[in-house]
Amino acid sequence: MNQANFGLFDSNDKPDEDEIYSVAQLNKEARYLLEESFGSIWVEGEVSNLHVSSAGHQYFTLKEEDSEIDAVMFSGDKSKAEVSPEDGMALLAKGTLTVYEKRGRYQLRVRDLKEIGEGELQKRFQKLKKELKKEGLFEESHKKRVPRFPDAIGIITSPAGAAIRDIGSTIAERFPLIKGYVFPVKVQGEEAAGEISNAVKKANDIGDELGLDALIVSRGGGSLEDLWPFNEETVARAIYDSRLPVVSGVGHEVDFTISDFVADRRVPTPTAAGKEIVPEGVEIENRVDLMTDKIVNTVISSCREKERDLGRLKGSFGLRIPFRKYEDRSQEFDELSQELVEAAGEVFTERTDLIESLVDRLSLANPTSLLKKGYSVTYDEEGKAVTSYTDVEEGENLKTRLFKGIIRSVVTGADENE
């Protein structure tokens, strides 16, 4: 069999050892050639994907319409530069073309920066922001109140991103009885803006059917390009036209998008969006206790005031002579006192019922309560809950969780009928 068929070297064709580069040698040679060939150069471009490391080094991309290059400015050079880079800024960067040998990635090591104006995306952002503000889309008078105690909310975000995990865990931690409906969309790329605006419209169309009280439009942090769908006019108008209140939680605290300005409430992160729209169970209990205390204190204060009034009336000359007036006033006082006590009792009873109802709803959400009633949960060998006979195979080991203890069993058969 001919070795050439396997792409192996023939002994006569194999290169000499001094003709073979190692990866490290190749990267080192390329770095030397780039640095010696170009020397110190100026490069014009728009800043994107800015990231600052814990050591203070700034990593970013310099780009134009159809090309880009990685750049780095080390912390020692930052203080010497005329400006500090920001996403969307158009800059002149002075530096050395080099290779980061560990990754084999060529980049511009920047030693000085000069601002030459706004980048193209930043110009588009400012232009649309100005137009929509002039049209009135940011007016406070148009913004709707976000309900403090919603029953259900719609969440418009990527089903695979960090934002949905942050929002979901926040809701579960604060008040798990609130229902959340996810409207999955792309949150970056050319198709994202259309999907986001359509999701806002769909949520409004079926909001009554689902019982939605508000919407969250959200995604995690990223570059100006990554967040751009939330700066598109179609998304801004969909949020403005929304019948349901919209909370915008896009990016990090330093990020601002057009959707933030149009939304009824802007929060800095997805987690903050969950906190903004979902109350804590403890907060509800505290509010009920506070209202109850206020009612009781009001009743007590009113009764004491009436007692003082009665004391003044009893000592008056007019009541000492026609004693019947005193009796009438006394009877009025008794009636008013009784009415106040009854009203306080009714309110106290209503608040007690509310607390008991919330406790009952929380108890229903507790899986242990179901187990205590005789229900059980069966898990397969991987620890996944078994919900159908198709989830198991004959001979498979199972564990069944009871209110007290665990039963281990082996599948001898499984079918759809009892």
Please report, in tens digits, the pLDDT of each residue of the chain (418 residues total): 444 444 454 556 667 777 788 999 998 988 888 888 888 889 988 999 999 999 889 999 999 878 999 999 998 888 888 788 888 888 889 999 999 999 999 999 999 998 776 677 888 888 999 999 999 999 999 999 999 889 999 999 999 989 999 999 988 888 888 899 999 999 999 999 999 999 999 999 999 999 999 999 999 988 888 899 999 999 999 999 999 999 999 988 878 899 999 999 999 899 999 888 887 766 667 767 788 878 888 888 888 887 787 777 666 655 555 556 656 666 777 778 787 877 777 777 877 777 777 767 766 666 666 666 777 778 788 878 878 878 888 888 888 888 788 888 888 888 876 6
CB burial of 18-55 (b: ≥16 within 10 Å; e: otherwise) equals: eeeeeeeeebeebbeebeeeeeeeeeebbbbbbeeeee
Phi, psi (degrees; rounded to nearest 5) at 139: -60, 135
pLDDT of residue 326: 57
What angle is formed at CA 131 by the lines to CA 127 and CA 136, rounded to 5 degrees? Answer: 145
Query: What are the tokens at 164?
Result: 């949905």
* H-only helix segments in 138-229: 162-174, 192-205, 207-210, 224-227
Nearest to 193 by CA among 201, 185, 202, 181: 185
| Alpha carbons 395 and 409: distance in angstroms, whole number | 9
Are 258 and 127 spatial neighbours (Cβ–Cβ below 8 Å)? no
The H or E element containing residue 117 is: strand 105-118
With tokens 């000492």, the residue in question is 320
| Alpha carbons 126 and 117: distance in angstroms, whole number | 13
pLDDT of residue 117: 65
Query: What are the tokens at 392?
Result: 């198991």
Query: What are the tokens at 190?
Result: 């050319």
Amino acid 248 reads: S
Kindly report the pTM of this predicted structure: 0.51
The H or E element containing residue 407 is: strand 406-410
- List Cβ neighbours of 169 (8 Å cut-off, separation of 6 or more): 274
Nearest to 104 by CA among 35, 31, 43: 31
| Alpha carbons 282 and 309: distance in angstroms, whole number | 40
With tokens 């975000």, the residue in question is 157
pLDDT of residue 1: 41
Query: What are the tokens at 335?
Result: 């009636």
| Alpha carbons 127 and 130: distance in angstroms, whole number | 5
Query: What are the tokens at 2?
Result: 């001919």
